[in-house]
Amino acid sequence: MSAALLAGRRRLARTIPRKYVPVLVTAGLFAAMFVAGGVRYRGFADGQVVLNVFVDNAFLLVVAVGMTFVILTGGIDLSVGSVVALSTMISATLLTGHGWPAPAVIALVLAVGAALGLAMGAIIHYFEIQPFIVTLAGMFLARGLCYTIGTESISITDPAFTALAQTKIRLGGGLWISPSVVVALVVVAVAAYVLHYTRLGRDVYAVGGSEQSALLMGLPVARTKIAVYTVSGFCSALGGVLLSFYMLSGYGLHAVGMELDAIAAVVIGGTLLTGGSGYLLGTVLGVLVLGLIQTIISFEGTLSSWWTKIFIGLLLFAFILLQRLIGARRR
Partner 1 sequence: MTAPRPILRMSGIGKEFPGVKALDGVDFRLLPGEVHALMGENGAGKSTLIKVLTGVHGVDAGEIELDGRPVAFSGPLAAQQAGISTVYQEVNLCPNLSVAENVFIGREPRRLGRIRWKEVRRRAAELLAGLDLDIDVTLPLSSYSLAVQQMVAIARAVAVEARVLILDEPTSSLDTGEVAQLFRVMRRLKEQGIAILFVSHFLDQIYEISDRMTILRNGRLVGEYPTAELSQVELVAKMIGRELADLEELEGRPPARGGEPLVEARELGRAGAIEPFTLTIREGEVVGLAGLLGSGRTELARLLFGADHAGTGSVAVAGRPAGLRTPRAAMGHGIAFCSENRRAEGLVPDLTVRENLILALQAARGWTRPLSRRKQDELVARYVSALNIRPADPEQLVKNLSGGNQQKVLLARWLILEPRLLILDEPTRGIDVGAKAEIQRLVAELSDGGMAVLYISAELEEVLRLSHKVGVLRDRRLVAELENDSGLTTEVLMETIASGARS
Q: Which is nearer to partner 1, 51 or 281 (CB)?
A: 281
User: For partner 1, which residue of 19, 40, 168, 223 counts as binding (CB under 8 A)?
Assistant: 19
C-alpha to C-alpha distance for 245 and 99, rounded to whole angstroms: 17
**Least CB distance to partner 1 at residue 16 (A):** 13
Q: Measured between alpha carbons, how far apart are the two ends of the chain, in Å?
A: 27
Q: How would you classify the pairing of strands 175-177 and 154-155?
A: unpaired
Q: In what helix (H) or strand (E) does residue 172 lie, and over which residues does it extend?
A: strand 169-172
Asked if 17 and 147 count as a contact pair (C-beta separation under 8 A), the reply is no
CB of 221 to partner 1, least distance (A): 10
Element (H, E) at 278: none
Q: Which of 136, 202, 307, 322 binds partner 1 (CB under 8 A)?
A: 202
- Our CB check for partner 1 shows the closer of 118 and 215 to be 215
Distance of closest approach, residue 76 Cβ to partner 1, in angstroms:
18
Q: Is 189 in the site for partner 1 (CB under 8 A)?
A: no
Closer of 203 and 261 to partner 1 (Cβ): 203
Q: Which of 229, 26, 8, 238 is nearest to 132 (CA)?
A: 229
Catalogue the long-range contacts made by 119-127 (C-beta closer than 8 Å, 24 or more residues apart). Answer: 120/77, 120/79, 120/229, 120/233, 121/225, 121/226, 121/227, 121/228, 121/229, 121/230, 122/226, 124/75, 124/225, 124/226, 124/229, 125/221, 125/222, 125/225, 125/226, 126/222
Contact indicator for 226, 77 with CB cutoff of 8 Å: no
Q: Does 185 bind partner 1 (CB under 8 A)?
A: no
Regarding 26 and contact with partner 1 (CB under 8 A), the answer is no
Stretch touching partner 1 by CB under 8 A, among 7-15, 63-71, 191-199, 283-291: 191-199
Rule CB under 8 A: choose which of 119, 149, 215, 320 binds partner 1: 215
- Cα 295 to chain centroid distance, Å, stands at 18
State how far the Cα of 27 lies from the Cα of 164, in Å rounded to an integer.
31
CB of 331 to partner 1, least distance (A): 8
Residue among 20 and 307 whose Cβ is closer to partner 1: 20
Note whether 319 binds partner 1 by CB under 8 A: no
* Residue among 2, 15, 148, 212 that touches partner 1 (CB under 8 A): 212
Site string for partner 1, 90-129 (x = CB under 8 A): ----------------------------------------
Amino acid at 52: N
Q: Is 10 in the site for partner 1 (CB under 8 A)?
A: no
| CA distances to 3, 95, 280 from 189, in Å | 42, 30, 9
147 binding partner 1? (CB under 8 A): no
d(CA 28, CA 14): 19
Of 77 and 203, the one with the shorter C-beta distance to partner 1 is 203
Report the residue from 130, 162, 167, 198 that binds partner 1 according to the rule CB under 8 A: 198
Nearer to partner 1, 11 or 199 (CB): 199
Is 130 a binding residue for partner 1 by CB under 8 A? The answer is: no
How many CA atoms, within 13 angstroms, populate the side-chain half-sphere of residue 309?
A: 6
Segment lying near partner 1 (by CB under 8 A), choices 5-13, 75-83, 104-112, 218-226: 218-226
Mark 265-294 with x for binding to partner 1 (rule: CB under 8 A) and - for no binding. -----------xx-----------------
Q: For residues 58 and 227, is the Cβ–Cβ distance under 8 A? A: no
- Residues within the interface to partner 1 (CB under 8 A): 19, 196-199, 202-203, 205-206, 208-210, 212-220, 276-277, 330
